Amino acid sequence: MRGQDSPRRHLRRPEWVAVAACVVIFVATTAIGQVVTQKVPQLEGPTPAMETGAAAMLPKWVVDDQRKMRAYPDQPPIIPHSIEGYELSVNANRCLSCHKREFTQDSGAPMISVTHYMTRDGQMIADVSPRRYFCTACHVPQADTQPLVHSTFKDMSELGFKPAGSE
């Protein structure tokens, strides 16, 4: 039957090139993947994934009441006091009983800053914004432990610029 030849079965040259490229990319990414998995430090420790290891000792929190310097201006400051047993639930917020604007005169605690009264659209509201209600989502206590991953972070004031008012 004329005009109804069966389609050519074998691949043409450009198609072969595409297939070969795919194979090369597949092999290369698998190899890179293996190298990367070996380089990334294992955060969960040496215990194999499906086994239960011995629990590490609880760290000792730093509770010296010294407000720590921030590593960068927008950093949520770390908590320099104990928060053990403080209720932080939908019914009660122990943190606010000291840090809320109305209570800071008696508690002597630093007031939650103005950003904690802003909605995500920048609207000022009378009470702490719901998105800032669960304090420990951003503020955490600090323990004197070895970092899991080495950090090369440099404070911006060490990067060699001349701060305002330094003469």
- Going by C-alpha positions, the residue among 139, 85, 144, 71 that lies closest to residue 110 is 139
Among the listed residues 29, 34, 47, 115, the single contact to ligand HEC using CB under 6 A: 115
* Chain centre to alpha carbon of residue 23: 36
Shortest distance in whole angstroms from residue 26 CB to ligand HEC:
42
Among the listed residues 61, 62, 83, 101, the single contact to ligand HEC using CB under 6 A: 83
Among the listed residues 61, 62, 86, 101, the single contact to ligand HEC using CB under 6 A: 86
Residue 152 in tokens: 């090369």
The region of 5-13, 27-35, 47-55, 96-104 touching ligand HEC under the rule CB under 6 A is 96-104
Number of Cβ within a 10 Å radius of residue 34: 10
Contacts 24+ apart (CB under 8 A), 35-41: 41/148, 41/149
Q: Are 81 and 68 in contact (CB under 8 A)?
A: no
Size of the site for ligand HEC (CB under 6 A): 35
Q: Are 70 and 77 in contact (CB under 8 A)?
A: yes
Among the listed residues 3, 108, 122, 160, the single contact to ligand HEC using CB under 6 A: 108
Site string for ligand HEC, 133-162 (x = CB under 6 A): xxxxxxx-----------------------
Residue 40 CA to residue 162 CA, distance in Å, equals 37
Q: Which residues of this chain interact with ligand HEC, rule CB under 6 A?
A: 65, 67, 74, 76-77, 79-81, 83, 86, 88, 93-99, 107-110, 112-113, 115-116, 128, 132-139
